Amino acid sequence: MVTCPECENSVVPAGTPVIGEIMECGECASELEILTLDPVRAALAPEIEEDWGE
């Protein structure tokens, strides 16, 4: 179980968590990225930025 940093809701990863996996908070719809497995910790997933062909 992970605590959402945005709304502090408890989020349960589906299946076995994997580092780098993205999951969604059911309460606030924030995307969370799993950072560590023991203990399982997550943070807000980074936004995808466009590079405009650079």
pLDDT of residue 51: 63
Q: Note the pTM of the prediction, 2 decimals.
A: 0.79
Q: Quote the number of domains for the chain.
A: 1
pLDDT of residue 50: 61
Strands (E), the chain: 2-3, 10-11, 22-24, 31-37, 40-44
pLDDT of residue 49: 62
pLDDT of residue 47: 80
Residue 51 in any domain: the answer is no
Nearest to 31 by CA among 42, 19, 15, 16: 42
Residue 53 in any domain: the answer is no
Domain ranges, residue 11 = 2-44
Write the CATH number for 31.
2.20.28.160
Residue 49 in any domain: the answer is no
Q: What is the pLDDT of residues 6-49, one digit of tens each?
A: 999 999 988 899 999 999 999 999 999 999 999 999 999 988 76
Residue 52 in any domain: the answer is no
